[in-house]
Amino acid sequence: MIRLDKYLSNMNIASRSKVKEILKGGRVRVNSKVETKGDVKVDPEVDVIEFDGVRIFYEQYRYFMLYKPQGCVSATKDRLSDTVLDILKDENTDGLFPVGRLDKDTEGLLIITNDGKTAHELLSPAKHVDKKYLVHLDKLIDDAAIAQIEAGIDIGDDKPCLPCEIEKIEDDKVFITIREGRFHQVKRMFAAVGLNVTYLKRVSMGAVTLDENLQPGKYRRLTDEEIERLKNK
Ligand code: URA
């Protein structure tokens, strides 16, 4: 059971404050009866809830694109730092979690969902989902170092990294696309050729790209098309 106002805002009908107005205006019916109180509990899987005469169907899974800012941790709880879920404080965060992790000082695309199956498939090492990062380096990178990383560099784990692609933007700035998600992977790949990563931003995951209109610390829902693409990689 969930509060009607919370349910309506979760279903993206309007923000919590607007939902109040909508309820007061008599625009919501629960099992055919107008309901004006937000604190009434409903069971979205059983109760028929209508807004302006149109039935709202229960949305089991929710997907958000978040521009993770630096300084915030990719966890659901942390004693000391802000987490990515704190950014979604206006949403019902029950069951939501970030799909994978970015380091505290890394920024960029993080998908937040309550869909465990899709998250698992995106993260599964066997699925080799592409992750693209913008990397700033402390020194110039030469073609030999690029070739070495692209071929699948040894970063001291059991196995070398899988081959990857690097696209040079400037002498000390590149895009890198990797298909794994090892601990501090990008930083360690460049460290293996003597370079320090000074700035790291994830720009895409699978077929979903960080929205250019999104500022750090902001988020939006994924569109139906993005959800479809995410599931089909
Ligand atoms: N690789 C890293 O080193 N850090 C990240 O946050 C993501 C990929």
Measure the CA–CA gap between 224 and 213, rounded to whole angstroms: 18
CA 136 to chain centre: 22
- Give the tens place of pLDDT for each residue, 104-151: 999 999 999 999 999 999 998 888 999 999 999 999 999 999 999 999
User: What single DSSP character describes residue 126?
Assistant: G
The full set of domain ranges for the chain reads 2-55, 130-205
The model's pTM: 0.84
Pocket test for ligand 1, best of 111, 131, 174, 200 (most atoms within 8 A of CB): 200
Residue identifier of the C-alpha nearest atom 7 of ligand 1? 102
User: One-letter amino acid identity for 102?
Assistant: L
Amino acid 89: pLDDT: 86
- Fold category of 130-205 in CATH: Alpha-Beta Plaits (3.30.70)
Q: Rounded mean pLDDT of the chain?
A: 94
User: What single DSSP character describes residue 201?
Assistant: E
Q: Is 194 exposed, middle or buried (0-12, 13-18, 19+ CB in 10 A)?
A: exposed
Q: Is 139 exposed, middle or buried (0-12, 13-18, 19+ CB in 10 A)?
A: middle
| Domain 2-55 top-level CATH class | alpha beta
- Give the tens place of pLDDT for each residue, 2-25: 999 989 988 878 877 899 999 999
